[in-house]
Amino acid sequence: MSAATTPDPENLGPGRPVLFRHGTVLTMDDSHTVLRDADVLVIGERVEAVGHNLSAPDDALVIDATGGIVMPGMIDTHRHLWQTAMRGYGADWTLTQYFVWYYLEWGKIFRPEDIHAGNLLSAIEALDAGVTTLVDWSHGLRTIDHADAALDALESVPGRHVFAYGNIQAAPWEWSASPDFRDFVTRRLHGKGDMLGFQLAFDVTGDPAFPEKAAFEAARDLGAPVTTHAGVWGATNDDGIRLMHEHGFMTPSTIYVHAATLTPDSYNRIAATGGSVSISTESEQSAGQGYPPSWRLRRHGIPASLSMDTSVWWSGDLFSAMRSTLSADRSREHLEAHARTETVTHCVLRAEDVVDWATRGGAKALGLDSVTGSLQPGRKADVILIKNDQNPAMFPLLNPYGHVVFQAQRADVHTVLVNGRVVKHDHHLVNIDLTPARQAVGDTVDYLMTTMGEEAWTTGMNPEVPKVTVHDNPYTYTDWSAAGSD
């Protein structure tokens, strides 16, 4: 784009009213009201009005939303932002290789500045992709300096964040009890309002002695919800859920990440105590935590939200989360029907449902549904416009939910508001410079390559392909082989 189209930051300052004009508006209110050729007016931090032919204050920035979709900013309820410094490095990993690399071998060499670099890039990336609320599942916090660095990065980016404090290098019952940690919470997390929330992030191993009890008690003392990887094949299972339940630590604010390999008993306990599940479909499919559980959650009436988990594999946008989740759910339904020699004639899960999970579902999971996740007068103005007149896939716009899920991409995010502030406009980030993030991540990559050594770096990124015999010719009556006769 030419320099002439770059938005002038002077004209997009915080506090200026914004009017989206002539868009298709997905309100994501209780009735999922959809308005065609409609307007959304933002004044200050809040949505002032949603409707037709709204009049704008004289000083309003009027954005032509014709041909576009105006909807709430998306909400990611589980992302390890620090790992974005290693973007794409683990594309061919399994969960085992991820555990070995981060938990056992190399996570411990990350310095505070490396955590800062990943967080900075990831938080910026989220805004660019229309993700306005982001849970930083920050489990690389080996020291309080790491935690300060992680939070410094979040606070330098104008997104709405929830800081989920964690540390995979130490026992949760130890770090959550340390005076340093308590001091950090008091110093940096208390009283930050709805722009910076706080959770405790740790997993429950299923040890019958339930040593995690002390960490749950710490969370309760601090008034912080717990987010936990639960139902992860080979790592966490029904025992953890049962222990949490028996000790009274399953609450409506608890978020169960993945919840992919649990039995009906555990889903019943989650449903009965009102918690929600964060589905990371691309992660579950590729890393192997279990089959993405949306199909089971529906049957148990468990609320869902969506997440991207880690950009060491996947990009940090929820378009791919919505698309993969809907596809995985339908794939499961078809396969199960085929196993019964039946045919699915009607889809149960709809595009509208996964748009809900990516917006108001996330807000509900985080206890922020009176703040964000829908476009209604009085809600904070976390608003995105999906519009790209240069993209042939953006017309005709017939089924707006379907268009968001199966047609649109992150490059189609035209405008993003967080808390009423324009952070992206006309496809450009506003007052956000990528240069420091690029420099910081470059420094981190250089440091890691040097520290690990070239061989470890290369083999880490290129895990061996297991040696298996592939029978490309199971027919005994011919020697012909697709791979050739040798």
- Rounded to an integer, what distance in angstroms lies between the CA atom of residue 1 and that of residue 5? 7
Q: CB 356 → Zn ion: shortest distance, Å? A: 22
Q: CB 229 → Zn ion: shortest distance, Å? A: 6
Q: CB 289 → Zn ion: shortest distance, Å? A: 9
Q: Please provide residue 256's backbone torsions phi and psi, each rounded to the nearest 5 degrees.
A: -100, 115
At position 374, the amino acid (one-letter code) is S
Region from 25-33, 305-313, 366-374, 454-462 binding Zn ion, contact rule CB under 5 A: 305-313
Q: CB 249 → Zn ion: shortest distance, Å? A: 20
Return the number of the residue (65 or 366) whose C-beta is nearest Zn ion.
Answer: 366
Name the residue with the smallest CB distance to Zn ion: 309
Q: CB 443 → Zn ion: shortest distance, Å? A: 25
Q: Applying CB under 5 A, which of residues 114, 309, 329, 353 lies at the interface with Zn ion? A: 309
Phi-psi region of 367 (alpha: psi -120 to 50; beta: other; left: phi over 0): left
Return the number of the residue (136 or 309) whose C-beta is nearest Zn ion.
Answer: 309
Return the number of the residue (284 or 309) whose C-beta is nearest Zn ion.
Answer: 309
Return the number of the residue (114 or 309) whose C-beta is nearest Zn ion.
Answer: 309
Return the number of the residue (313 or 319) whose C-beta is nearest Zn ion.
Answer: 313
Return the number of the residue (45 or 309) whose C-beta is nearest Zn ion.
Answer: 309
Nearest to 124 by CA among 421, 434, 385, 444: 434
Structural contact between residues 82 and 45, judged by C-beta atoms closer than 8 angstroms: no
Count of residues in contact with Zn ion, rule CB under 5 A: 1
Return the number of the residue (164 or 413) whose C-beta is nearest Zn ion.
Answer: 164
- Rounded to an integer, what distance in angstroms lies between the CA atom of residue 324 and that of residue 284? 10
Q: CB 421 → Zn ion: shortest distance, Å? A: 29
Return the number of the residue (140 or 420) whose C-beta is nearest Zn ion.
Answer: 140
Region from 18-26, 140-148, 237-245, 307-315 binding Zn ion, contact rule CB under 5 A: 307-315
* Residue 76 binds Zn ion, judged by CB under 5 A: no
CA distances 287 to 152, 409, 457, Å, are 30, 23, 20
- Residue 248 has a CB neighbour count (10 Å cut-off) of 10
Q: CB 83 → Zn ion: shortest distance, Å? A: 9
Region from 4-12, 65-73, 309-317, 336-344 binding Zn ion, contact rule CB under 5 A: 309-317
Structural contact between residues 402 and 72, judged by C-beta atoms closer than 8 angstroms: no
Region from 35-43, 140-148, 304-312, 341-349 binding Zn ion, contact rule CB under 5 A: 304-312
Q: CB 310 → Zn ion: shortest distance, Å? A: 6
Region from 54-62, 143-151, 306-314, 390-398 binding Zn ion, contact rule CB under 5 A: 306-314
Can you give the binding site for Zn ion, defined by CB under 5 A?
309
